[in-house]
Structures are given as structure tokens and as C-alpha cells.
């Protein structure tokens, strides 16, 4: 993007809406995203900092009047300067306190203890800072200054003024365990503030530029890739879907719920993941189809490779696939497609085998028309020609999947001609004719058995390919589950550390009642984490139990087919 676009604004009906053009941009971003959003009073330099993060002097509009210049939420997507393969999404929000705003009613905040797992880092940027960095008469760092500003007031918590003072500070402490503060001096002379974006660096305070550079480097280095609370990486596409879900929910008058949004998002992504996996498999098999007919082992080998690749594509995009419902759907669809391609390969093989036999038997068919075999001894001549055709056919079609079956059908058809020739042949005696007829029946039966055995062998080969595909699929399932569990465990550990630090801080500062409530939260948090671990172990055991059953299932299919 060479410039920002409006992401979310208000329609003529007064309801929030997501701009379709912005969604289309996000849809094209398949990379993980680092999202940096700025919130604050209007005309406090938010847009200037966002432009610097984008590596530009201008882009987001800077305000110089009593009205907020930025209306709604504007978005600028740029390549991340330090994290390769990642997109930096900058969100510049409409300034608070604009004279054109209407104050809305306050809503109770959700104090879910789960929020701390996935809430981003909190950076407090203080502009035009002229005070000395001291707390309690001692020199302090910027971060210590922030913690000092977040200190809670003692007193009767039922007193409204104390509650109003403590509430935002408690929220910041609770939901943002990672906090950082930057204090910015005056950037330039007051008369130059209205044209800050066009000023030369020589006209801007060197100390302000130094802090700005430090601020940008911190954001680039410390801002993590956005993740959902179960550890799933958010891409631009996912971010767009989530924003649309939130905004539509708010516009409908309902209260947005992260869990519901994630569930809706999971459905969209998992359905798309199935389609993506199928596309990978189908496109590969369509290329292979151009080479049909092929040996079964060649088709099965490519099927296994493409099935594994399709599963990888699915795993990369899917998340929250409860009970592996969508993976099972992908597996069923791939098996159905595989059966279809096997059938097409068989049809191509059958056609080629029939063409080979037609070409090889053409001279014999011409002899039949001319009555060549109607003379005494004609039956033996016919059988000799038929035997020669069979040898040449086996040499040319021995690797065709339908070779034995097509030959069986051919011999059955020619048995009508051979029987007529045998009956008309005056050379053999009736006893000899009977022996020759039994010999022919035995040869037909032998070919029928060959065709049936070959069909069984191909079925077993197909089942073996499916067994190996299933093993690979379960290996990938286990790998993804282990990775997800690792991320969830890391989230839980970070959240637990945050809660323990918060509890210790409350105890140290004399907020015993709050610290006691924190103990209850910590115990509940431990219980949920233990349940999640137990569920993971049970799934691992289920996979381990299923794997040994695959060969048994293959044997059952063999028995049922015999």
C-alpha cells in the first residue's frame, strides 16, 4: 500500500461499517500480521508517529484545527521492516474528545481472566513532556513513571470517585502485563506545529527525533505477530474477517464476543482450508491424468504425495477444528476423488488394452471372414493364432491395470468362434473335440482367476496407499496438536506470571482484599489449564490407539473382498 485507506467508518444511518476496499486489501495478505493501533485525544500527534512507523514523512492525515482530522479507523499495511515474511498493519483511530463527538454511555467491562493471554503490549506515549522524571523524590525511568501513574488509590472502594480513579488503572494493570512508556519533548516551535509533516529534520527537536526513533525501534522489535487466544496466527485475511464480525455485531445492537467471533472465523477458515487442500490435490492429479493410463503404483504414489501436501495446506490455514471435523471432510473428499481418478485410469487402460488386442487380432479376424479356419485342422490353426495374440498382448500390455480383465473378456468372446470352428472341424474325433473343449474351458478359467487375483492385488495396493496416507495424516495431526498445545502452554505460563506479579504488587501496596480475589482467579486459571492439558493427553492416546488398528482394517477389507 502506498497510502492509508479508511478501514472502518460510520454510514449515513449512523452505524459502523467496514470498507469493502480495505477488506479486499486484507484478503490478499496471506502473511502473519503485526497490528499496531494508536488511541488517544485528538490533535496529539498520533498520526505523526504512525507515519514514522510506516517509514514515511506523510500518509495518515495530521490535524491542525479543533476538529479531529482522522474520522473512523484508517489502515496502512506495509512490509515489516525487521520481521521478514510479516506485514505491519498500522491503525490510526479517530481522536477522542473531538468537539464533533457525542459521548456514549459507559458499559461494564468484561474482566475475563483469559484476556491477558492474548492482549497486546501497551505503550504509553506522553507528548510535550516537560516534568522531571522523579517519583517520591528519586530519579525514575520512563517505565517507573508509568507504574507510578498506574498506582491505585486507597480508600473505601464503594466511593464513586475512588472507583472511577482506580478502574482504568486496574484494567491496564490486569489486561496489559507488558507495558512501556515513552516521554516525548516538544517537537518544534509552536508556530511550526501545523506543518509538522513537511518540516525538515533540522527544524525538529533532535531530542524529539531521538525519542521517536527509539519508539519506532521498540515497536518493530517488541511487537509480536498477532495471535488468537488459542495461539493461532492471524493473517491479514483473518484480521479482515474478525473486524467484519465485530463491526456487524456492534451495528446490529449486540455485544461483540471474542469467542463467538473466533468460532465464526474458524468456520470460515476451516471451510476455506478444505477447499484449499482439495485444490492442491485436484490440480496435481489433473496434471497426472494427462499421462493416463499408468501403473497403479504410479497413481498411488502420486496420490500419497498430493494427499500429504493437501493436508499440509489444510493444516496451515485451519484452526479450532473441533474433533477434526473438517480434516475428516477433506479426507473423505480426497478418497472420493482418488476413486474417481483410479476409475479414469482404468478406463484409459481398458481402452488402450482393447486397442492393442484389436490391432493384434485384426489378421485373425480377416481370416475368419475369409473362412480360413473352416478347413480340416482349422481349430488348431485358430488356437495357435489365438495363443500368439495372447503372447504378444502380454508383452505389450503387461503393465496395464486392465490387462488381465480385458484379455479375459476377449477370450470369452473368441470362445464362441472357437466353439463353432471346433464343431465344424472334420479332423479331430468326437472324443478329441471333447478334450479340446475341456482344455479351452480350463484356459478360460485360468485367465478368469488371473484377472480376479490381479483385481485383488490392486485392491490391496490401493488399501496400502490409503494406510500410508492415513498414517501421514495422523502424524501431521499430532504435530499440529503438539504445536498448538505448546503455544497454549506458553500463553498460560505468561498469563500466570502476570497474575502472580499483579497479586504480589497488590499485597505489597496493601490491597489485601484485591489480592485475595486474585488468589481465586489464579486457582480457577490453574484448573482450566489442567483441563486443557488432560484433554490433549486423551486425544494423543486416541491417536495412538487408532494407528495400530489401520493394518487390521486393511485385512478386514481384504477378507471381505475375497
Q: What is the mean pLDDT of the chain?
A: 83
97, three cell numbers:
474528545
Question: Confidence band (pLDDT; 50, 70, 90) for 481?
Answer: confident
Q: What is the pLDDT of residues 487-515, one digit of tens each?
A: 777 777 777 777 777 778 777 767 776 67
- Crossing angle of helices 325-370/378-397, nearest 10°? 150
For residue 165, pLDDT over 90 is answered with no
- Fold assignment, 5-100+110-265: Rossmann fold (3.40.50)
pLDDT at site 43: 64
Question: Confidence band (pLDDT; 50, 70, 90) for 235?
Answer: very high
Question: Confidence band (pLDDT; 50, 70, 90) for 423?
Answer: very high
pLDDT at site 145: 86
For residue 25, pLDDT over 70 is answered with yes
Answer yes or no: are the C-beta atoms of 410 and 356 closer than 8 Å.
Answer: no
The more confidently predicted of residues 45 and 430 is 430
Distance CA 324, CA 453 (A): 37
Answer yes or no: are the C-beta atoms of 172 and 179 closer than 8 Å.
Answer: yes
pLDDT at site 19: 94
Across 409-418, 454-463, 516-525, 552-561, least confident range: 552-561
For residue 430, pLDDT over 50 is answered with yes
Q: What is the pLDDT of residues 541-561, one digit of tens each?
A: 544 544 444 444 444 444 444
Answer yes or no: are the C-beta atoms of 80 and 227 closer than 8 Å.
Answer: no
Across 119-128, 338-347, 511-520, 547-556, least confident range: 547-556
pLDDT at site 66: 35
The more confidently predicted of residues 114 and 314 is 314
What DSSP assignment string belongs to 143-177?
HHHHHHHTPPPPS-TTSHHHHHHHHHHHHHHHH-S
- Residues 206-222, mean pLDDT to the nearest whole number: 93
Across 71-85, 201-215, 516-530, least confident range: 516-530
Q: What is the pLDDT of residues 528-538, one digit of tens each?
A: 667 665 545 45
Nearest by Cα to 17 from 257, 246, 239: 246
The more confidently predicted of residues 105 and 428 is 428
Distance CA 240, CA 249 (A): 14
57, three cell numbers:
514523512
pLDDT at site 304: 94
- Residues 30-47, mean pLDDT to the nearest whole number: 85
pLDDT at site 186: 86
Angle CA 60–63–64, to nearest 5: 145
pLDDT at site 484: 76
Question: Confidence band (pLDDT; 50, 70, 90) for 413?
Answer: very high
Handedness of CA 257, 259, 264, 269 (dihedral sign): positive
pLDDT at site 151: 86
- Residues 323-340, mean pLDDT to the nearest whole number: 93
Amino acid at each position: 500500500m502506498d497510502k492509508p485507506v479508511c478501514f472502518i467508518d460510520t454510514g449515513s444511518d449512523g452505524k459502523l461499517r467496514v470498507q469493502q476496499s480495505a477488506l479486499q486489501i486484507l484478503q490478499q495478505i496471506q502473511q502473519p500480521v503485526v497490528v499496531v493501533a494508536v488511541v488517544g485525544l485528538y490533535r496529539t500527534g498520533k498520526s505523526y508517529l504512525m507515519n514514522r512507523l510506516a517509514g514515511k514523512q506523510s500518509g495518515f492525515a495530521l490535524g491542525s484545527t479543533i476538529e479531529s482530522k482522522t474520522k473512523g479507523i484508517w489502515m496502512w499495511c506495509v512490509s515489516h521492516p525487521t520481521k521478514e515474511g510479516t506485514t505491519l498493519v498500522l491503525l490510526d483511530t479517530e481522536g477522542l474528545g473531538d468537539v464533533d463527538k457525542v459521548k456514549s454511555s459507559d458499559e461494564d467491562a468484561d474482566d475475563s481472566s483469559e484476556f491477558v493471554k492474548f492482549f497486546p503490549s501497551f505503550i504509553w506515549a506522553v507528548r510535550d513532556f516537560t516534568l522531571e522524571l522523579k517519583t517520591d523524590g528519586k530519579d525514575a525511568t520512563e517505565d517507573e513513571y508509568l507504574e507510578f501513574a498506574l498506582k491505585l488509590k486507597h480508600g473505601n472502594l464503594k466511593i464513586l470517585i475512588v472507583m472511577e480513579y482506580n478502574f482504568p488503572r486496574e484494567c491496564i494493570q490486569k489486561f496489559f502485563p507488558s507495558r512501556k512508556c515513552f516521554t516525548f519533548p516538544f517537537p518544534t516551535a509552536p508556530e511550526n506545529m501545523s506543518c509538522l509533516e513537511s518540516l525538515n529534520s533540522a527544524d525538529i527537536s533532535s531530542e524529539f527525533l531521538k525519542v521517536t526513533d527509539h519508539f519506532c525501534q521498540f515497536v518493530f522489535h517488541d511487537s509480536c505477530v498477532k495471535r488468537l487466544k488459542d495461539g493461532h496466527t492471524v493473517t491479514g485475511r483473518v484480521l479482515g474477517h474478525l473486524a467484519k464480525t465485530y463491526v456487524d455485531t456492534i451495528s446490529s445492537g449486540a455485544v461483540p464476543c471474542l469467542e463467538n467471533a473466533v468460532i465464526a472465523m474458524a468456520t470460515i477458515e476451516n471451510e476455506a482450508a478444505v477447499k484449499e487442500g482439495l485444490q492442491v490435490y485436484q490440480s496435481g492429479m489433473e496434471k497426472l491424468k494427462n499421462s493416463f493410463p499408468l501403473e497403479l503404483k504410479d497413481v498411488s504414489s502420486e496420490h500419497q504425495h498430493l494427499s500429504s501436501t493437501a493436508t499440509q495446506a489444510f493444516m496451515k490455514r485451519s484452526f479450532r477444528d473441533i474433533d477434526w471435523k473438517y480434516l475428516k471432510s477433506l479426507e473423505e473428499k480426497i478418497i472420493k476423488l482418488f476413486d474417481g481418478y483410479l476409475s479414469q485410469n482404468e478406463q484409459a487402460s481398458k481402452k488402450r488394452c482393447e486397442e492393442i488386442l484389436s490391432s493384434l487380432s485384426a489378421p485373425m479376424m480377416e481370416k475368419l471372414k475369409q473362412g480360413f479356419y473352416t478347413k480340416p485342422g482349422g481349430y488348431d490353426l485358430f488356437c495357435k493364432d489365438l495363443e500368439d495374440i495372447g503372447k504378444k498382448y502380454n508383452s505389450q500390455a503387461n503393465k496395464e491395470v486392465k490387462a488381465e480383465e480385458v484379455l479375459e473378456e476377449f477370450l470369452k468372446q473368441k470362445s464362441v468362434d472357437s466353439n463353432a470352428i471346433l464343431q465344424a472341424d472334420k479332423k479331430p474325433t468326437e472324443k478329441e473335440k471333447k478334450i479340446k473343449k475341456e482344455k479351452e474351458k480350463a484356459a478360460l478359467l485360468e485367465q478368469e482367476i488371473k484377472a480376479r487375483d490381479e483385481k485383488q492385488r490392486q485392491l490391496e495396493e490401493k488399501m496400502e496407499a490409503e494406510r500410508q496416507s492415513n498414517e501421514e495424516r495422523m502424524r501431521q495431526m499430532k504435530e499440529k496438536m503438539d504445536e498448538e498445545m505448546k503455544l497454549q502452554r506458553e500463553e498460560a505460563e505468561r498469563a500466570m506470571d502476570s497474575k502472580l506479579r499483579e497479586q504480589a504488587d497488590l499485597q505489597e501496596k496493601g490491597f489485601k482484599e484485591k489480592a485475595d480475589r486474585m488468589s481465586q482467579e489464579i486457582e480457577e486459571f490453574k484448573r482450566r489449564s489442567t483441563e486443557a492439558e488432560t484433554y490433549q493427553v486423551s486425544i494423543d492416546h486416541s491417536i495412538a490407539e487408532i494407528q495400530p488398528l489401520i493394518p487390521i482394517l486393511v485385512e478386514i477389507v481384504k477378507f471381505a473382498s475375497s
